[in-house]
Copies of this chain bind each other. A is one copy, B any other.
Amino acid sequence: MLFVRDFPDEAMLLDISRRFNSMDPRAVRACLALGLTTRDMRESFERFLSQYGLSNGRFLVLAVMFRTPDEAVSPSSLAHGVGVTRATMTGLLDGLERDGLVTRADDAEDRRKKLVRLTPQGQELIQRVLPEHSRRTTRFAACLTCEEWVTLTALLARIQSGIEAFENIDK
């Protein structure tokens, strides 16, 4: 019932639930809201990044690398840091390298590895993005009070552990 992109579906899904099982519409509505809110956040964020020719994945790569701008990192550790597979990282780095934001060199010590480095253009770009990103996040944080954010986190944590619980039943 989750993960719809359009509002008409709310009616449709409520309809389906009604036909099959009397489910609490408040929970259904909240799930819908969860999906839609997250989608809106994501879209807003990606629209912002796209002004700089970045996607979420590309941004995270640059951001991770910018923590140690002068050190080279391996694609593998980047993949872990960003939270994608190594295969996906290959694709991201292909794009970033093509756009001149990053370089890949061989590692003399461990010849399986590559050494990824930010180019000056890469550093310049991420330094231009991050402050604005920061401003956006601050504005975003103002949507709720501190207590409300804490409440939200607590509720989400309960949902997550609930999912985990019945995930284990399923399997």
Interface SS of chain A: helix, strand, loop or mixed?
helix
A123 to chain B: closest CB distance in Å? 14
Asked whether A105 is an interface residue with its Cβ less than 8 Å from the other chain, the reply is no
**Interface size counted on chain A using CB atoms at 8 A:** 81
Instruction: Compute how far the CA of A149 lies from the CA of B152 in the bound complex, rounded to whole angstroms.
Output: 11
Q: Quick check: A163 and B41 within 8 Å, CB to CB?
A: yes
Instruction: Compute how far the CA of A30 lies from the CA of B167 in the bound complex, rounded to whole angstroms.
Output: 23
Q: Contacts of A141 on B, CB cut-off 8 Å? A: 23-24, 27-28
User: Interface residues, chain A, CB within 8 Å of chain B?
Assistant: 1-6, 8-9, 12-13, 15-17, 20-21, 23-24, 26-31, 33-38, 40-42, 44-45, 47-48, 56, 60, 63-64, 66-67, 80-84, 130-131, 133-144, 146, 148-153, 155-164, 166-167, 170
